[in-house]
């Protein structure tokens, strides 16, 4: 895999999960300040990406985040629990992005009147197809990712160029600002829109010079996506009324294209959304496959998770696909996004802790590690307070995910001890 292939994995995940899946949800939460939410989320991502880049340069492996946890934390329960939480987060993320794919496919092909089950069928279909692609191997993943990312970047760039002249300043300025607390809470969603950069480190075992390629790919991907997110959030808010944004929050970007480019624009951007969400699912499944194989190889999951099922696919990938399909058909988009946002923040806080503990080997600025961790803790705290007021069930599911990951590791390690 080349520099652009690795960057495409991150861009594919971030743009698919961010603009197409979460822009509408984030705008409902942050209002006209949503572009600031994306800007703050970008700063958090750059600081987190710095720690990722330092760790990936020193410890290049396909294990990525789980390798850093293993090296940094002597307790296998903590290291394995954090790795398993990251794997669970990836699985939840695929379900959320697949739901967005289903929403766009449903509205594009059948209009606004079809039943939710049809959207879920589209979502389930794309998951099955891309699981099979990942079973073929990493070369197919990289090639598919490059093609999908190139297509959606062209479409989004065209939308931005067309949208700038028609921005309505009144739409951007109407309505009150949400305040610092709500703005920080909304970063819990917008940061999740950036979180795909983490999976680029899982490609380190598939590149020729990982200590050079992986850091460059991380910063290239985050930089491109920051520009896209801020620009498109302004375009959408400047062209879509608050009423339409609330009604079509799951397909907000395509809704912005309709007044700009007519029905043809709506169709083209919707197709771009299908490319974007497909590439995000593709990249996330690739990451989940690598993490599950690594956890099984290190005894942090049962051996069967790493056993071959077909091609380069494993039984772990098959079971992950079953879990994804269950979530797609049982939960709504908003609930899945809230839980995934919280668990991503918790897992990525573990990366700051790992970098701090491995600083003598990985190097880097301790000040940047502390600044990034402090900002992420602040965002997580504000996000959880907001969820406690608006969606307390999401807090319960987040606690269950964290406690369950640690509990599973405790049971596995207990069974592995002699006697």
Q: Measure CA 102 to chain center.
A: 17
What's the pLDDT score for residue 137?
57
What CATH number is given to the structural domain containing 10? 1.20.1740.10
What's the pLDDT score for residue 202?
67
What residue numbers bound the domain in which 94 lies?
A: 3-416
CA gap 14, 17 in Å, rounded: 5
What's the pLDDT score for residue 309?
67
User: What is the domain count for the chain?
Assistant: 1
Number of residues that this document lists for the chain: 419
Nearest one of 61, 32, 47 to 197, comparing CA atoms: 47
DSSP string, 164-212: STT--HHHHH-S----HHHHHHHHHHHHHTTGGGGGGGGGGGGSSSHHH
CA gap 287, 99 in Å, rounded: 19
How would you write the pLDDT of the chain (419 residues) with one tens digit per residue? 677 777 877 787 677 656 777 777 788 788 778 889 999 999 999 999 999 888 988 887 766 788 899 899 988 889 989 988 988 888 888 888 888 888 888 888 887 656 678 888 999 999 888 888 777 755 555 566 667 677 777 877 777 787 777 777 776 666 557 788 888 888 888 888 888 787 777 666 677 777 778 888 889 999 988 988 888 888 888 777 767 776 776 677 777 777 766 777 788 888 888 887 887 787 778 777 777 777 777 777 777 776 776 766 677 778 888 888 988 888 777 778 788 888 989 999 999 999 999 999 988 899 999 999 999 999 999 999 988 888 888 888 899 999 999 998 898 888 776 54
3-state secondary structure of 73: coil
pTM equals 0.81
């Amino acid at each position: 895999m080349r520099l652009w292939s690795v960057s495409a994995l991150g861009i594919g995940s971030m743009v698919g999960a961010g603009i197409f899946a979460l822009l509408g949800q984030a705008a409902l939460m942050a209002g006209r300040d949503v572009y600031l939410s994306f800007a703050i989320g970008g700063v958090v991502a750059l600081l987190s990406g710095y720690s990722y880049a330092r760790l990936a340069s020193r410890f290049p492996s396909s294990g990525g985040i789980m390798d850093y946890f293993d090296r940094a934390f002597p307790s296998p329960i903590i290291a394995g629990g954090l790795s398993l939480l990251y794997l669970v987060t990836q699985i939840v993320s695929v379900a959320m992005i697949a739901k967005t794919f289903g929403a766009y496919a449903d509205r594009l092909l059948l209009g606004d009147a079809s039943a939710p089950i049809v959207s879920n069928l589209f979502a389930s279909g794309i998951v099955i197809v891309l699981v099979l692609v990942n079973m073929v191997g990493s070369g197919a993943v990289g090639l598919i990712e490059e093609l999908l990312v190139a297509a959606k970047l062209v479409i989004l760039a065209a939308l931005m160029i067309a949208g700038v002249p028609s921005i309505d300043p009144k739409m951007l300025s109407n309505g009150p600002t949400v305040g610092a607390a709500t703005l920080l809470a909304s970063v819990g969603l917008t940061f999740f829109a950036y979180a795909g950069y983490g999976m680029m480190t899982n490609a380190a075992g598939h590149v020729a010079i990982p200590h050079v390629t992986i850091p460059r790919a991380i910063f290239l991907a985050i930089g491109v996506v920051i520009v896209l997110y801020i620009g498109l959030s302004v375009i959408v808010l400047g062209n879509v009324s608050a009423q339409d944004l609330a009604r079509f929050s799951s397909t907000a970007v395509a809704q912005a294209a309709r007044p700009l480019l007519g029905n043809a624009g709506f169709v083209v951007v919707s197709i771009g959304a299908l490319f974007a969400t497909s590439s995000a699912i593709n990249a996330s499944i690739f990451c989940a496959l690598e993490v599950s194989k690594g956890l099984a190889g290190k005894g942090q999951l049962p051996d069967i998770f790493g056993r071959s099922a077909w091609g380069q696919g494993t039984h772990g990938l098959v079971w992950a696909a079953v879990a994804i399909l269950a979530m797609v058909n049982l939960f709504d988009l908003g609930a899945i996004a809230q839980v995934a946002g919280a668990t991503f923040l918790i897992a990525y806080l573990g990366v700051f802790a790992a970098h701090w503990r491995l600083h003598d080997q990985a190097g880097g600025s301790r000040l940047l590690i502390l600044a990034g961790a402090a900002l992420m803790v602040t965002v997580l705290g504000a996000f959880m307070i907001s969820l406690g007021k608006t969606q307390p069930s999401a807090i319960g599911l987040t606690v269950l995910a964290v406690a369950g990951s640690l509990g599973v590791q405790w049971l596995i390690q207990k069974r592995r001890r002699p006697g």
